[in-house]
């Protein structure tokens, strides 16, 4: 059983925050940038449509959306780890010095401080599996999404092709935890937690079922990199 208690996950990410971006790029062989860029192309967001990026971490997806959508678009990144948000705000100042409609706020995805039907799109990239109760996180994301809007989940999944599955499992279970832990040097075993959380998290049709239970319709799935990652998109 993976321990996803709020305090444990928050402390773990607080400890690895200073090296989080570097480790993501190194451990994904820099493919994480491609995954986010492809997700944005698929979502086809329009300038002016307000967007919420939950579990935003250091803000990579929110900042990419701001660059893509321009100054007229309200973009909010939320996360419950203040140390990660501090880095997101510094990154915003460096990369978006003239963009004044990107805000990073501290909030638990299970209790979002926004009214119903507020955002045209609500996203989460590699963060939903860290939410204590997945169903509650999806329910809140759906609540704050406008009718007709999109809820999108970009997350690690489990490849099914024979060769890819074996390479993927070997990397996730043996190589990634050792390299990540050496770089992170944290006390909460972040890179042992990562493969455990991925294995325990529902993927494919199992996650699509949870999205439908949260009152999302027309669930579409877009596998990337041989199914290592999948983008799930539902309509409210």
Complete domains list, the chain, with CATH: 6-235 (3.40.50.150)
Q: State how far the alpha carbon of 170 is from the alpha carbons of 26, 165, 166, 167, 174, in Å.
A: 17, 9, 6, 5, 6
pLDDT at 194: 73
Instruction: Look at residue 181 in the predicted model and tell me its pLDDT.
Output: 63
Report yes or no: 165 and 226 within 8 Å, Cβ to Cβ. Answer: no
Question: What residues contact residue 11 under an 8 Å CB cut-off, 6+ apart?
Answer: 188
Contact status, residue 33 vs residue 154, Cβ threshold 8 Å: no
Sheet containing 75-79, strands listed edge to edge, beginning at the edge strand earlier in sequence:
102-106, 75-79, 51-54, 119-125, 145-156, 229-235, 217-224
Residue 76: phi, psi to the nearest 5? -120, 130
Q: What is the DSSP letter of 112?
A: -
The low-confidence residues of the chain, meaning pLDDT below 70, are: 1, 26-27, 172, 176-177, 179-191
pLDDT for residue 182:
64
What pLDDT does 27 receive? 65
Query: What CA–CA distances, in Å, run from 159 to 13, 166, 174?
Result: 26, 9, 17
Q: What is the dihedral of CA 69, 215, 221, 12, to 10 degrees?
A: 70
pTM above 0.85, yes or no: yes
Q: Which tens digits make up the pLDDT trace of 52-63? A: 999 999 999 999
What is the model's pLDDT at position 188? 47
């Amino acid at each position: 059983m993976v321990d996803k208690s709020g305090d444990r996950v928050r402390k773990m990410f607080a400890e690895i925050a200073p090296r989080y971006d570097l480790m993501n790029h190194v451990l994904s062989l820099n493919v994480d940038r491609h995954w986010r860029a492809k997700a944005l192309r698929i979502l086809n967001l329009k300038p002016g449509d307000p967007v919420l990026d939950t579990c935003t971490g250091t803000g990579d997806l929110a900042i990419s959306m701001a660059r893509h959508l321009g100054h007229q678009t309200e973009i909010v990144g939320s996360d419950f780890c203040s140390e990660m948000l501090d880095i997101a705000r510094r990154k915003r100042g460096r990369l978006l010095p003239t963009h004044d409609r990107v805000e990073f706020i501290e909030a638990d995805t299970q209790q979002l401080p926004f009214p119903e039907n507020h955002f045209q799109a609500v996203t989460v990239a590699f963060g939903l599996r860290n939410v204590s109760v997945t169903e509650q996180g999806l329910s809140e994301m759906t609540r704050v999404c406008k009718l007709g809007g999109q809820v999108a989940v970009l997350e690690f999944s489990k490849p099914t092709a024979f060769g890819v599955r074996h390479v993927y499992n070997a990397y996730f279970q043996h190589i990634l935890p050792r390299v990540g832990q050496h770089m992170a040097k944290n006390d909460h075993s972040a890179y042992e937690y990562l493969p455990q959380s991925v294995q325990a998290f529902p993927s494919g049709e199992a996650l699509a079922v949870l999205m439908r239970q949260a009152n999302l319709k027309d669930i579409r799935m877009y596998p990337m990199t041989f199914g290592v990652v999948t983008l799930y998109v539902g309509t409210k």
